[in-house]
Amino acid sequence: MTHTRADYPLAETQPGAVTGKRGKSLAEITLDSVLAGDVTMEDLRITPQALQAQADVARDVGRPTLALNFERGAELVEVPQDFIMQVYELLRPGRAKSKQELLEAAATMRGTYQAERIARFIEEAAETYAARGLFTFRF
């Protein structure tokens, strides 16, 4: 389903359609359900679908860069936090030892986590870092 500006904010216009990982909708997350112990952290975590819906809205209002960021975020939802932090560290200028190190991270994003947009982003960074000499060279 493609969302438009009329759907914004999703939490208010479609609270039944926005769901957590276990499928519980925002409409089902009430103070009573929290107090009853029926809500877990998994019910509160963002999902790829919610981020894609936000991307649809952003694109509809003429914010393509924001939409792309939401789409990249959607790809990262299922990537383990420790790997995200590892890649983040590599992307800091002067931290990766070589272009190959970044290309390997991109291959993992693409192959293991199906994060195509993120993989392309890392590959673009690898090219830019190579062109600008931003790798750590140890003698």
Alpha helices in 47-98 (DSSP H): 48-60, 64-76, 81-91
Q: What is the pLDDT of residue 138?
A: 55
The mean predicted confidence, pLDDT, of the chain is: 93
Q: What is the pLDDT of residue 27?
A: 85
From the CA atom positions of the chain, what is the Rg in Å? 19
With tokens 């299922």, the residue in question is 78
Q: Under a CB-based contact definition with an 8 Å cutoff, are residues 50 and 18 in contact?
A: yes
Percentage of the chain with pLDDT > 90? 78
Please state the rounded mean pLDDT for residues 4-19.
88
| 95-118 pLDDT, tens digit each | 999 999 999 999 999 999 999 999
Q: What is the pLDDT of residue 26?
A: 86
Which of 2-11, 26-35, 74-83 tops mean pLDDT? 74-83
- C-alpha 27/C-alpha 121 separation (Å) is 36
Picking from 123, 63, 52, 61, the residue whose alpha carbon sits closest to that of residue 87 is: 123
Q: What is the pLDDT of residue 137?
A: 65
Q: What is the pLDDT of residue 109?
A: 98
Q: Kindly state the greatest CA–CA separation across the chain.
A: 62
Can you give the pTM of this predicted structure? 0.81
Residue 17: pLDDT band (50, 70, 90) is confident
Picking from 5, 126, 109, the residue whose alpha carbon sits closest to that of residue 66 is: 5
Residues 6+ apart with CB under 8 A from 12: none
- C-alpha 117/C-alpha 73 separation (Å) is 10
Please state the rounded mean pLDDT for residues 57-85.
97
10-14, 30-34, 38-42, 100-104: which range is least confident on average?
10-14
Q: Please state, in angstroms and as integers, the Cα–Cα distance from residue 107 to each residue in 40, 71, 110, following that order.
A: 33, 18, 5
Picking from 110, 115, 26, 119, the residue whose alpha carbon sits closest to that of residue 77 is: 115
